[in-house]
Amino acid sequence: MSIVLGAALEYQSLKSADPRVLNDVPDALSRPVRWVHSSEVLDIAPLLSGGELLLSGGQALAGVTAERQANYVRELAARGIAALALETGPALPEVPAIMLEVAEAAGLPVIELRQVVPFVGVMQEINSLLVSESVEHLQHADQASHAMAAELAHGGGLDQLLAVLSERTGASARLVSPSGLTLGAAGGISGMDDGGSVTVVDVPVRGVLTARLELVMPDGGDGGLARVAGERSVDILGLALMQRMPPGLKELAGIELMRAINSGSQRWQLQQLGPASGFPTDGAVAAVVIRSTGAGHLRPAVDALLRECVPHSASYAGNAELIALAALGDGAATRRSLLDALRRLEVPAGSAVAVGPLGVGIDDAPWSLAEARRALDLDPGTGGVVDADTLAVELLAQESLDPAAREGFVQRQLGAVLEHDRLKKSELLRTLTVWLDSGCNTAQAARGLHLERQSMHHRLQRIFDLCGGDPRGTGRLGALHLATKLARL
């Protein structure tokens, strides 16, 4: 199902490129590669699902600003790809230092390909092997899940189900509650701490993370088989857990409430499900969205944070997204406290968090959730928490203004600045944006940009020359500020 990065670099098609790892990422060569993909598109990150070795010729990267190069790396790291391999040559003589700096901080290995090789040959060689291995793993995993289903049908408990899984995969198996309590085990609990590859699979019951399956494959075993078999066994283990500890009606109503909010259900459904789950239908609310490969693992910590910050809350975890609804009591003040608490929350690298705008009553919950998601799409967060309220202008413009009208307005207001940034690889637009966002406070903007005040003044003067003079006191500030907001769209 996957090979490690070090082994992928030894395949002849890729070895011919004379690959070299450029940054210091712990255990980089041990990273699993799930697929090999090539693309010159800079906005490729949303189309990736994690574990890819991404090949790029670097032509597109050579023609953009250092800020865009850095964002490209951040976006790929946030998707959890295995590594980025860049071909150096006439278009991109060397990998930019800013990309290496950002990649190392984000834990993303960057590989330089010093010789030209056909990427299609690399993909054909490695991906064909991955596909063949995947088919074999799926066949063995299905056999294991069928055997577990038969055991459950004959009254087998968790230990018996895990024993079947352990026997079929060769891994030690343990089912653990979110609080760390062992619910069942097979294959020797002592062997769980003796090394080997560890696979962890979330086991939800009706959308609630109820347990985690831990599979430890001894050295030399097939870790890929353990992962596929573990994922195939989730439904069976969930049924066994339901028989052992069925969820209460209030918990089920809370799950259904979040599902209804997620799907944008009608008002009457929310009004019914709210009281059944203990959530008030009146008063201020705001949605929270966390996109993370560890969304299920984060739910206990997020629920604990919500219990401390807000009077009432409900949450729901999917495969790579956790959503929550918070009743805000005092409204804006409670929302600010929630934002501060979320900024202190420890989340896995590459996670993105957003808080939706203030809604009035549970009827506004689907809208707050949708706005939080749109805010994340505009600003992935790069490790911080995105406040949808700070992007209100961009969100309104994206929804209500025709793209051609937006572009025309930006060009009329900032065309000369954008052209200067394109030709000189400067950052005048970013400088103007930070300055305007600070209320035209030059000292504060200089600190935000890490510039000396004299350098900040020089940049502003250049911007004023390009924009027709200092806009302060002329009535043009609003138009310029709006143009900087629309430019990001």
Question: Is the domain of 269 the same as that of 373?
Answer: yes
pLDDT number for residue 397: 83
Predicted confidence (pLDDT) per residue in 460-488, tens digit: 999 998 988 898 888 888 888 888 888 87
Q: Is residue 128 assigned to a domain?
A: no
Tally of domains within the chain = 4
Provide the residue type at 87 as one letter.
E
Check which CATH number belongs to the domain holding 331 and give it.
3.30.310
| pTM of the full structure | 0.51
Which amino acid is located at 217 in the chain? M
Q: What is the CATH number of the domain that holds 70?
A: 3.40.1390.20
Q: Are residues 56 and 108 in the same domain?
A: yes
Q: Provide the percentage of residues in the chain whose pLDDT is more than 90.
A: 21
Average pLDDT, the chain: 85
**Is 302 in the same domain as 237?**
no
The verdict on residue 385 lying in a domain is: yes
- In terms of residue numbers, what domain contains 434? 401-487
Residues 343 and 365 grouped into a single domain: yes
Q: Residue 113 pLDDT more than 90?
A: yes
Q: Single out the residue in 117, 147, 163 at which a domain terminates.
A: 117
432 and 338 fall within a common domain: no
- Is the predicted pLDDT of residue 151 greater than 50, yes or no? yes
Structural tokens at position 440: 């035209």
* 302 neighbors 324 (Cβ within 8 angstroms): yes
Give the mean pLDDT of 322-336: 87
Give residues with Cβ within 8 angstroms of 272, minimum separation 6: none
Q: Between 284 and 140, whose confidence is greater?
A: 284
Residue 446 shares a structural domain with residue 370: no
- Is the pLDDT assigned to residue 190 strictly greater than 50? no
Query: In 372-405, which positions are buried (b, 16+ CB within 10 angstroms) versus exposed (e)?
Result: bbbbbebbbbbbebbbbbebeebbebbeeeeeee
Query: Could you tell me if 110 and 15 lie in one domain?
Result: yes
pLDDT at 69: 92
User: Which CATH number goes with the domain that contains 155?
Assistant: 3.30.450.40
